[in-house]
Each structure stands twice: as structure tokens, then as C-alpha cells.
Amino acid sequence: MKAQQFLHDAEVKAFDREHRRKIRFNIGKYDAAVGVGMKLYDQHELARDRGAYLKATVLEKLDDYLLQFEANFTARGGRVIWARDAAEALAEIGKLTAARHAKTVVKAKSMTTEEIHLNQYLASQGIESVETDLGEYIVQLNGERPYHIVTPAMHLSKADINGIFMKHLGTESTDDAQKLVLTARHLLRNKYTAAEVGVTGGNFLIADAGAVAVTENEGNARLSATFPQLHIAVVGIEKVIPSLLDLDLFWPLLSTSGTGQQVTVYNTVYFGPRQPGEVDGPEEMVVILLDNGRTTLLAQPDKRAALRCIRCGACLNVCPVYKNIGGHTYETTYSGPIGSVISPHLSGLPEHKHLSYASSLCGACTTVCPVRVPLHSLLLLNRQQSVQEGYAPAEERVAIGLWKWSMQHRWALDVLPARVKDWSLGRLLGQVGWNKRREALAIAPLSFRELWKRDHSPA
């Protein structure tokens, strides 16, 4: 079962000192940069309030905003495809690549394409899919999924990357980071010009402009969207914002929360395919609006706030659980607190309910979220839902039932001798791993009630 595998992998990673050293080092650099970046805000809390309000407003009328986006985007020659799930999205992409007789696809960093497993699908169709983001390219070479929403190769050191390049690309060993970057850049450059199709995600869908905004630091999305004759943007339906003017709020919130930058290096707004008189850009641009479980969340008013997420990755960087067990342990596209909240709804509550329990409920994630998603509260709601729908383990249901009965019949606890209570408690805690690295709990011979009775009884 996925829950058992998660517990096993979590324990392995939590006690892997080298892994923890790398994550502490890399997240530490982000923490320092974000701390500096936040000082550039005059009224950061007000910006968070505005961001949360705008995203919440959109979710209340999501259908209207999406239709507005579609009308404005198609008016400039673009095409919109609505995909209910991963299978529909992949089938449509298959038709588009087949029409272009595509042999090579260049991909910019996109969590939605990871969500639908696009690379695996294209490989099954005999199409080479090349990740052009450096971090994504490295993990693709190494046969891994992205480790982090913003930094796919956060778990790898410079030495690790050198080893991957030597193994898969036959390069000479080097400890020069610039040489490693130049090696990847040289190999990728020809891929852009050879590819028939470019695929990106989209950080924001702009309703009033009918446009897709993409944020990046390397410029690979621009190349992926410019050289190929077909540009496909796969974007979750929750990414829509009302106006082009709203980018002045969301671009800095996204970049500062995620990496500490005032604004990301490359921010591009795509309004559709190449227009008459324009000298570059694709002949055709298609936006695939992906549902894939998002309307499941939308239909639950108490959990709908999770769709406000702008994928900045800030909640991962502060989460004590994520920093100990790592991104791959979650075995989902989205890891960390936001992944634990949304994955059970996007990919199935029975298979992923355990993720909502992988939290200390410290609230750090909620504190840093730029759009005020109440992550720790949503984790509790997920736990509640899993119990209400009967997904709690039988042992847990029995244990809670016995505890409830004993609290309602307090006298019964005094009837049982301490050794029986010790045995029961030890068995219960042993099942959840409490006693594995801790001393067993021992029940006092006399309960508080018995002690009070003994010490305060009339002489």
C-alpha cells in the first residue's frame, strides 16, 4: 500500500544524513534570499490580502472567467481544449503531435505536464521529449521525478550532477558549476531548432486579455514557445486571474515568496500564435485547460481555498516534515504541505489520505503562503473527510471507539490494572511506530482519581 511505502521511505530519508545536509544547505540559501526579498515590500501583508481576495473572487465565478479567457484567446487565432482528466489531455496532445508528424518535443518546466505524465506518454508514441529547464533536464537524465515545485534538482549536489553528466552524457569530470551549465546549454540549443512542438505550462491565465503568463529564470520557456511551429500550453483551470493589470501583484508575490527575487528574470505573456506582421512566434498555439480533479475541490466550499495556490513553493521550504523526508517520498506530483492538501483530491483520497497526516500542524506553511491558503486547517479537513468516508484503518476506529467509551465511563479505567493498560497502550503505540525510537510509555499504578480519593478522603 502507498501509506506503508510512504512510511518506509520517510524513515529512510529522515535518517539519511547526507540527504539532510544537502536539503539544509539548499533550502538555507532560499531562506536567506527570501528574507532579504521580503524587506523590499512596504506592505507585504496587504499584498497577501489582495492576492487572496482576488483568487477567492475568481474561484467563486471560475466558469465565467474561463469562458472570458477562451473568447479572448480564440479571437486572436488561438485554440482552447478542455480536458476533464489526464487521459483526455494526453489524447489531445497526441492528435496535435501526430498532425505535425512530430519527432521531438521541447518542454519548459511545467508541473501540469508532470501531473499527466506527458514525457512517458510521448515516449510511448516514439517522440523524444526533452526537458529544457536545467533542473528538470538533470532529473530527467537521472530517471527521477522533480523533487521540488520550484527547484526540481534541490536534492542533488554539484558533485551529484557532475556524476549524472559523466554517466549519461559522457562528459569529463569537473567541479566547475559554470562548465556543467554550459554543457547542458550546448546540448539543448540544437533541440529548440529541431523540435516541431514546444510545450509549456502557465503560471497565470489572464481572462480579460486572453493570454498565458509564464514565469521563469532561464529563458527556456521562451525558446520552447518561439522556435517550434506549435506551442502547447497545459494549464490548470484554477490559474486564471481577472486582468493583465493583476500581474503587478502576482508576479512579485510569486517570485519573492519562492526565491526572494523582486521579480523573476523572464516574465512572458503569450497572446496566441504569430500575428500578421510579426517576425517570430509559433504558427499555432493551443491552450489545454486541465481539470483533472480540480472541480472536485471546487465543489467543496470548505476546501476550495486550496485552489488559490500559485505554486511558489514557499510552504515546502518551511515545512519541517518536507525538510526531513524529502520531495520524492510523497510519490506525487505536488509534495510538501500543498501536495498533502490537494493530492488526495486530484489523485484519489483512498490512495493519498495518508499525506494529510504527514504534518506537524505547526502552521508555518500557512504563515508564509502569499495568497493565504489555510494549509494546516485544510489538512485537518482532509483527515476529517477520510474518517467520515470510512477510510480510517480498522485498528484506528477500534482504538478511538474504546477511548471514547472509556472517557464516557471513567470508572472503567480504574477497574483495569496498570499492567493491562501498559500492554494495551504499548500495542497501540507500537502499531504507529511510537516505541521504535522512544521509551515505552508506562501508566501510573494509581490514576489521578484514585490518588485524589486516597489523599483527600475524610480520615
Mean pLDDT over 86-99 rounds to 98
pTM summary value: 0.91
Q: How far is CA 94 from CA 82, 117, 229, in A?
A: 15, 13, 16
Mean pLDDT over 437-442 rounds to 80
Residues 6+ apart with CB under 8 A from 326: 13, 19, 23, 147, 155
Confidence of residue 274 (pLDDT cuts 50, 70, 90): very high
Confidence of residue 432 (pLDDT cuts 50, 70, 90): low
Q: Is the pLDDT of residue 1 over 80?
A: no
Residues 6+ apart with CB under 8 A from 151: 26, 30, 135, 313
Confidence of residue 458 (pLDDT cuts 50, 70, 90): confident
Q: What is the mean pLDDT of the chain?
A: 93
Confidence of residue 123 (pLDDT cuts 50, 70, 90): very high
Mean pLDDT over 201-217 rounds to 97
Supply the pLDDT for residue 199. 98
Mean pLDDT over 184-198 rounds to 91
Supply the pLDDT for residue 355. 96
Confidence of residue 149 (pLDDT cuts 50, 70, 90): very high
Q: Distance (Å, rounded) from C-alpha 120 to C-alpha 197?
A: 16
Q: How many CB atoms lie within 10 A of CB 374?
A: 19
